[in-house]
Amino acid sequence: MGWLTSGSARTLVIESDEFSLRAAVVNVSRRNPRVEAVSQILPRNVWTALPAALERLSGVRIPKRAVVLSSDVVPTVLRLPLSPGSARSWQQMQQLLRWEFDALVAQHFVPRPLGEILVCRGLLTDEQYRSVRESAGLEESAAGNLGDRAIERLLEQTVMEHGQGSRSDLDDCLAIQERLEQPLPEEDLVCGWAHPARTTESRNAARSVDGLQPWFACGMLRSVRDNWREELAQLGFRLAGIGPLAGCSTGFGQLTGEDASILEIRPGRIGLTEIRAGRIEDVRLLPVSQSAPTAEQCQSVLDQKSPHAIWLAGTHPDLTGLAEHMAASLEQPVKVLEPAKDPGVHAPGSMTPLIGAASSIPSVHLDKSPVAAVVARDPAPPLRQRPPFWWTAVVCATVLLIGSVEFLTQQQFREVDTNTNTEEEKLALYKGEAERVQRKTEKINQLNGQLTETQSTLEVTTTRSQFLNESVPQRIQFVPALLTAVAGASSESIVVNRISESVTGSTEIEAWSLTLQAAQRCIQSLETRLKPWGLVMQEPRVQSKIGRLDLPGYLIKLNFAEIEAGSPNGSGSSETDDQEPERSRPQSAAPSQTTPEGNTP
């Protein structure tokens, strides 16, 4: 087997039917689409013969992408009331097409006589098969009786006598006949289609009169599709799609935009594709008994109503001679669709279906292919239409919600831990500061106590010092001054009876005056003389009273009190003494009385 590669311009194309298996490496580059290598074998079982066919593709790199053209795919053109621009999901199109293909698939798979299988496998020629039938004396209608053992024995004898095959080849043909006679299994079909607007460069094709559009479609058994995909996957290939044996030549760019009929001729089959106004109008795959169908058989399937281009393709050994014969009979050109080949490629027929399939089928899932093909896997429905989607969405949403909550919770925990650590550090700092402040406060309280004690001691000391330095000298000066003031206020008409001083600091003077004028002069003199010592007279009282020697006179009672702080000096006066500052006089320990004569009354 050649080397595997994943080049996008190269595709492995496998063409399979009951009689042959062909594999080719196709390069679909825009400038030079060509077949690089091709191999062909006659398989008894396609799955066992596939590796052998790939082994013969030696000397080239085999791409991993594979396209299959199979006789198990039924092609047709359906008239559907669907416009090219109408949107349908893959599941909706499948449901619509299955109704049409249930009957078509049953008609497509019909048993074949053993003689036709021998001819298509190359063990008998058309003349030998015709001779066997004539020698058996059977009519044309009876030639298809598969249960006639006489014909089978004649066919086996003819094969063995002419030496064109062995007993093993006969067994292979009998196995193919038995497989074709088996009824179709009751299983699901899978369909493919080509968009009508994609088959031509002109997107403005006219709608038919009845409003129906031609849709190139195909169908096959789902199990066959799955078997191809699995077998190729085991060999290391990726299946892109499976197409029919007829219709794939329309993917060849030379046919774009013209009216044409394409005949794809193979052993035992003729494929017909009708293109009108750039669109595929009809696709049919017709069985024939010859390995190389004649010109008359090919002409019989053509539409003779209107002249148009006729192209030939397929594996017919002499397509050029067949085209010349048909051109002479139809009196119009008949051409062979023959793409380029590499110099080392030698294979009969035309490679156009292989190149058309390689260039068109890989883009089927993009709705860009002019060829109908079955995709390798069923596309998944839209997410919103999948039942597991909502469960998955709910689970994912729940997991996402739980994850988000867990993430946010962890993040909040981390933030709380960080804030807690920060607050603990701050608290420890504040605690240290509080302890330091408490120690300072205790020290301050201790100093305040010491200060209070010192202040108390200082006050006592200050009081004692003030008493010794101020009060005592003032007291010593005050008594002579008081006596001097009393003496200065006395006269011949005045007699001082008593002088007393109370503990509150007030001084009382009691005297007797012979006349009222003398009494007034005495009061005024005492008030004037005692004011500098901080004494203010409080409402003097003068009353008539008999004095000594029974003389009439006036009793004088004077009360002098210390001037209070902030009070005006003098009785009823707001003026202060400008000559001498006000001085406080120390209080005496006990009241004393004295007279001018020095005697106590």
The C-alpha atoms of residue 487 and residue 594 are separated, in whole angstroms, by: 12
| Residue range of the domain that includes 130 | 111-183
- Give which of 277, 278, 282, 317 is closest to 303, Cα–Cα: 282
Query: pLDDT for 540-585, tens place per residue?
Result: 888 898 887 788 999 999 998 887 655 444 443 333 333 333 344 4
Whether 178 and 189 map to the same domain: the answer is no
User: 131 pLDDT exceeds 70?
Assistant: yes
Comparing C-alpha atoms, which of 331, 332, 273 is closest to residue 301?
273
Average pLDDT of the chain, as a whole number: 78
Is the pLDDT at 355 greater than 80? The verdict is: yes
Q: Are residues 68 and 154 part of one domain?
A: no
Strands, E, within 101-237: which ranges? Answer: 189-194, 213-221
Residue 203 lies in a domain: yes
Nearest-10 crossing angle of helices 472-489, 516-530: 160
Distances (CA, A) of 263 to 271, 275, 278, 299, 423: 6, 12, 17, 10, 91
Alpha helices in 467-515 (DSSP H): 472-489
Instruction: Quote the pLDDT of residue 576.
Output: 37
pLDDT band with cut points at 50, 70 and 90 for residue 46 = confident
The yes-or-no verdict on residue 51 having pLDDT over 60 is: yes
Are residues 103 and 210 both part of a single domain? yes
Torsion, Cα 451 453 459 465, to 10 degrees, reads -110
- Which residues have a Cβ under 8 Å from the Cβ of 219 and sit 6 or more positions away? 73, 74, 97, 98, 101, 104, 105, 189, 190, 191, 192, 374
Given a cut of 50, whether residue 198 has pLDDT beyond it is no
Give the residue from 363, 380, 397 where a domain finishes: 380
d(CA 388, CA 411): 33
- Look at residues 302, 355, 307 and name the one whose alpha carbon lies nearest to residue 331: 307
Q: Are strands 4-5 and 21-27 parallel, antiparallel or unpaired?
A: unpaired
Q: Kindly state the average pLDDT of the residues 140-161.
A: 59
| pLDDT of res. 568 | 47
- Tell whether 205 and 345 lie within a shared domain: yes
Structure confidence at residue 441 as a pLDDT band (50, 70, 90): very high
What is the tens place of the pLDDT at every residue in 96-106? 888 888 888 87
How sure is the predictor about 65, in pLDDT bands with cuts at 50, 70 and 90? very high
pLDDT digits (tens, 9 = 90+) for 404-422: 999 999 998 999 999 999 9
Last residue of a domain, one of 380, 410, 436: 380
Residue 436 one-letter amino acid: R
Highest mean pLDDT among 201-210, 226-235, 306-315, 479-488: 226-235
Chain segment 213-225, per-residue pLDDT in tens: 888 999 999 999 9
Q: Find out whether 397 and 219 touch, Cβ atoms under 8 Å.
A: no
Q: Is 284 contained in some domain?
A: yes
Structural domain ending residue among the three candidates 138, 158, 183: 183
Contact 235, 343 (CB under 8 A): no
- Whether residue 523 is contained in a domain is answered as no
Q: What is the mean pLDDT of residues 393-405?
A: 88
pLDDT of residue 140: 46
Say which residue, 451 or 100, is predicted with more confidence.
451
pLDDT at 202: 42
Q: Are residues 225 and 350 in the same domain?
A: yes
Kindly tell me if the per-residue pLDDT of 143 is higher than 90. Answer: no
Largest CA distance in the chain: 213
Q: Is residue 551 part of a domain?
A: no
Is residue 243 within 8 A of residue 373, CB to CB? The reply is yes
Asked, for residue 479, whether it belongs to a domain, the answer is no
Beta strand pairing call for 10-16 and 65-70? parallel
Length of the chain: 601
311, part of any domain: yes
Burial state string for 558-593 with b = 16 or more CB within 10 A and e = fewer than 16: bbbbbbeeeeebbeeeeeeeeeeeeeebbebeeeee
Please tell me the pTM assigned to this model.
0.59
pLDDT bracket for residue 94 (50, 70, 90):
confident
Residue 2 has pLDDT above 70, yes or no: no
Please write the tens of the pLDDT for every residue from 244-258: 988 888 877 655 556
Element (H, E) at 425: helix 387-466
User: How many domains does the chain fold into?
Assistant: 2
Task: Indicate whether 269 and 354 sit together in one domain.
Answer: yes
The reported pLDDT for the residue numbered 366 is: 53
Q: What is the pLDDT of residue 69?
A: 93
Same domain, 226 and 170: no
Q: Write out pLDDT tens, residues 526-539.
A: 889 888 888 888 88
pLDDT digit string, tens, across residues 483-493 = 888 888 888 88
**Residues 319 and 221 placed together within one structural domain of the fold:** yes
**Amino acid at site 386:** R
Domain match, 42 and 145 both = no
Q: Are residues 91 and 130 in the same domain?
A: no
Count CA within 13 A, CB hemisphere, residue 370: 28
Return the axis-axis angle of helices 167-181 and 149-162, rounded to nearest 10°: 150
Q: Among the ranges 56-70, 142-156, 178-192, which has the highest mean pLDDT value? A: 56-70
Q: Examine the domain organization and report whether 209 and 317 are in the same domain.
A: yes
Q: Does residue 239 belong to any structural domain of this protein?
A: yes
Is 487 domain-assigned? Answer: no
In the chain, what is the straight-line distance between the N-terminal and C-terminal CA atoms, in Å?
A: 164
Question: How much is the average pLDDT of 376-380?
Answer: 82
Same domain, 18 and 155: no
Band (pLDDT 50/70/90 cuts) for residue 73 is: very high
